Structure 1
Amino acid sequence: MKLLYFSIISVFLQVSCQNPRSHWTLPPNILVVEVDGSVGQQTLSCLGSPEEVTRRANKSQDIIWKKNGVEEPQRGNSYLVHLEESLGGGEYTCHSKDGSLLDRTVVLIQEGETMKRKILVKNDQEEYLKCSAQNYNGEFHCSWTWHSSRIGKVAFIKAQRVSDDSDIQCSVDTSGLRWTCSSGQSNFRCSVNKSGYSISCLDEQYCPYAEESRKIEIIVYVRTEHFLIESYTKQFFLSEIVKPDKVTISKVNTTMIKWSYPSSWSSPYSYFPLTFQIAQLKRRCKKCGNLCPDSKATKILTVHSTDICQFEVKHKAKVVCIRAKDALCDSQWSEWSQFRLRRRKNNKNRHQ
């Protein structure tokens, strides 16, 4: 990644590096420094360019530095950040003699790729980010699991189409929860869930009736309160992560049920058809939760339909389960929908 130099008109502190190591900036005022576990140093400059320092030389020695709000003994235009292992991150501010804020930046520490991840943990699919879409309207959701001892927050989000030749410009609003990433070829809006465990994004230039030629790439930078940062990346086509909502099941008569497409699914259904799986279970448990993942189904049937469907249930079936997936793509199945059958007992059974 290209080195970025800060100027007097920018909101970033000027940076030089005494020991060769990678560093870059994230808007609005974050400096990321990659470390390899060895002792190092990073120099911050308050006033900007050498010309500006010379012009204000008489005042540069009066500059006061603070780390996380606590005044530091170092004075002058330059501040030396000491780096050791993953330590050295913090919020650094420089002030004039009268206490006025001159500049501010947050230094975040990123450990080398060969070092063990510490902030997020892998899911059952051995992935850090789990992404899904309810339909083909261009919206998708990505979630993660924080390490039990390192719950943090989102520091930066980058969303784009792979091989996007234009420079991606990403910005965040004042809440720190809503992000926009734009280029000449794509425009994404993302928001962080208030719980901090997921994000929702919308590709505003996505066309559901055209074939996707380039994958979406989502990069989520997360940080801890101790100023450690890590990035997690996932690439996908929407057709790979689409997962319909649950279908709705209702009863027609004593032997017949019907179900319909999820209301959130894309239409027309003839263009976005679903495949359905039907499982019939012989046992019923009043105190049990969802029985549908039960492996003792009498039989699992597959049905292709572009409209409301009806199905005749076997006499001995106590529970019917139905789930759906995109009929044209090898994507995810929806969660099972469960319908418990209640049949009237005949008179003979009633007197037994």
Structure 2
Amino acid sequence: MGGCVGSHHDSSGSLNENSDGTGVALGRNQPLKRDKPKWKSDYPMTDGQLRSKRDEFWDTAPAFEGRKEIWDALRAAAHAFESNDHELAQAIIDGASITLPHGYINSQALRHPLRNELEVPETLSIMIFVILNILLLIIQPGKGNESQPPNYSILQPNVLAVEVNLAESNPMVNVSLRCEETDNPREVSWQYNGAPMDQHGNDITVTVEELFGGNYTCYDSEGAFLNYTLVLVRSSGHKILMGSGDTGYIACTSQNYNGSFQCSWSWSPDRNGEVMFVTATRWSKGSEISCALGSSQQSISCQDQTYCPYAEEVDRIVIELGVRHKYRLEKYSVSFYINEIVKPDKLEITKIDQSKIEWEYPRTWSVPDSYFPLTFEVKELPHKKDCTCESKCRRNKPVKVNTTQDRQWTVKKGFIICVRAQDALCNSSWSDWSQYITRGKGSRKYRRSNPQ
């Protein structure tokens, strides 16, 4: 109910135990391998031609076999893997309930619980290897394609994202820059981070070493500014945002089940970053969820217009965030169901009489209450204690936490009553504590905390 009865895919589970003779049980899910396939075209093919074939494949594949939402999930996983975001690709595969018996995405190793195998026509066999194994990652180009390195891409107008393999003994990438898109270019000079360069002309090639990107600007013969290109170097490390692989880097929460949610992050103390891109999508739908970036560039507010609070969530929401510090570019991602991030607002407590209090569901919570029930935790603490107190709060006695679905409580003078709420059907986050304070023994003055 309320979007909370959806099944969750267990990536370690088994759909069947049949073996194909390779020693790997079919149906037993294997982690997506990091190996990047190598392939060479039988005939000269440019990078643009190969990308065109890839797009054609994704657009037509669902018309042959399998469910469209599964193909869409595979497409999202391919793009994530192509961007070297192995964790996101694995999360998409898991979220779509796709099993990889051998740890590879190919026509012989894709299974889904609603269709034992995903197959495509034999005429597309070469595209299976090129597309489903995400061939554009490391292509050994055929003749005619040697001058087009696949290791940098246009992140946005005037901004290039460069892939430099730091594992190499001499990590560097040659990048082609153009000042003006014209058939009759003017005499052009260049500067790198404000310093004059020896190279001249409308088209130049620069070498990007390790993580040393920069801002390349071009000028006409009289020194007038013409254009610029910001070259950022993608980094597989996570140093711009605070967090860790265990705690995460992006925190998301939702007040209810109306399809809206918020996500936030924090810059590392010595790095003031800048958001270069942020997207929110559901895998099978393929369309972006509308999001607005906060003025501090440390949060987003999003709304999924197609979300239905009364239906089971089939796909996870995927957030992708690209941030830069100087010329370093890092990509972060997180995925979730709404029911995993829902957190009710604080409860508003009111006094019934001298001995009882009551509270209501938050006004922002989804209705009806019968379909979106809440459960409550109540604890009593001595005066001058705080609701966040967890130990040594009552003369070294453990604090008793009472769980109830009632909305009334008998108060004791001289005590603080703490109440919080959680979705009764999901193991999601508890609301922040609300407190009700009696003003000392024998006093008839009460104070209640207002919800935020």
> TM-score category by the smaller chain?
0.7 to 0.9
Tell me if 1:93 matches 2:217. Answer: yes
User: Which residue does the alignment assign to 1:312?
Assistant: 410
Tell me if 1:215 matches 2:336. Answer: no
The alignment partner of 1:240 has SS state of helix
Which of 365, 378, 383 in structure 2 is aligned with 1:284?
A: 383
Q: Deviations over 1:296-330 (max 9, x none)?
A: 4652211225xxx22223x3660100000111111
Taking only the aligned residue pairs, the percentage that are identical comes to: 39
- Map 1:1-352 to 2 at 5 A: 22-37=151-166, 38-46=170-178, 55-56=183-184, 59=185, 62-87=187-212, 89-98=213-222, 102-111=226-235, 113=236, 116-122=237-243, 126-164=247-285, 166=286, 183=287, 187-224=288-325, 226-281=326-381, 283-285=382-384, 290-295=386-391, 296=393, 298-304=399-405, 309-313=407-411, 315=412, 318-342=415-439, 345=442
Q: CA 1:4–1:100 in structure 2 vs 1: closer, same or farther (change >3 Å)?
A: farther
Please identify which structure carries the higher strand content.
Answer: 1
Q: Deviations over 1:316-350 (max 9, x none)?
A: 6601000001111111111111111235628xxxx
Letter in 1 for 2:311: A
Aligned partners of 1:103, 1:267: CA distance in 2, in Å? Answer: 54
Aligned partners of 2:320, 2:313: CA distance in 1, in Å? Answer: 19
Aligned partners of 1:138, 1:3: CA distance in 2, in Å? Answer: 39
Verify the 8 A CA contact 1:17 1:42 in the aligned structure 2: no
Aligned partners of 2:179, 2:210: CA distance in 1, in Å? Answer: 29
Q: Deviations over 1:235-273 (max 9, x none)?
A: 100100001111111222221011111121112222211
Letter in 2 for 1:207: C
The alignment partner of 2:405 has SS state of strand
Q: TM-score, normalised by structure 1?
A: 0.74
The alignment partner of 1:229 has SS state of strand
Aligned partners of 2:265, 2:48: CA distance in 1, in Å? Answer: 30
Verify the 8 A CA contact 2:413 2:442 in the aligned structure 1: no
User: Which residue does the alignment assign to 2:138?
Assistant: none
Verify the 8 A CA contact 2:47 2:148 in the aligned structure 1: no
Cα shift at 1:84: 2.0
Q: CA 1:340–1:95 in structure 2 vs 1: closer, same or farther (change >3 Å)?
A: same
The alignment partner of 1:239 has SS state of helix
The alignment partner of 2:364 has SS state of coil
Structure 2: where are the runs of 5+ without partners? 1-35, 37-45, 50-144, 444-452
Structure 1: where are the runs of 5+ without partners? 6-15, 167-182, 347-352
Cα shift at 1:67: 3.3
Verify the 8 A CA contact 1:131 1:141 in the aligned structure 2: yes
Verify the 8 A CA contact 2:177 2:206 in the aligned structure 1: no
Aligned partners of 1:223, 1:153: CA distance in 2, in Å? Answer: 5
Aligned partners of 1:104, 1:232: CA distance in 2, in Å? Answer: 27
Letter in 2 for 1:245: D
Cα shift at 1:212: 1.0
Matched pairs, number = 296
Aligned partners of 2:245, 2:319: CA distance in 1, in Å? Answer: 20
Letter in 1 for 2:329: I
Verify the 8 A CA contact 1:4 1:24 in the aligned structure 2: no
Aligned partners of 1:148, 1:17: CA distance in 2, in Å? Answer: 43
Task: Report the RMSD for the aligned CA atoms in angstroms.
Answer: 3.0
Aligned partners of 1:256, 1:124: CA distance in 2, in Å? Answer: 46
Aligned partners of 2:197, 2:400: CA distance in 1, in Å? Answer: 72
Q: TM-score, normalised by structure 2?
A: 0.59
Aligned partners of 2:284, 2:319: CA distance in 1, in Å? Answer: 13
Aligned partners of 2:194, 2:153: CA distance in 1, in Å? Answer: 23
Q: Deviations over 1:9-65 (max 9, x none)?
A: xxxxxxx9979562222224321001123342323232678xx6xx53xx45x1222
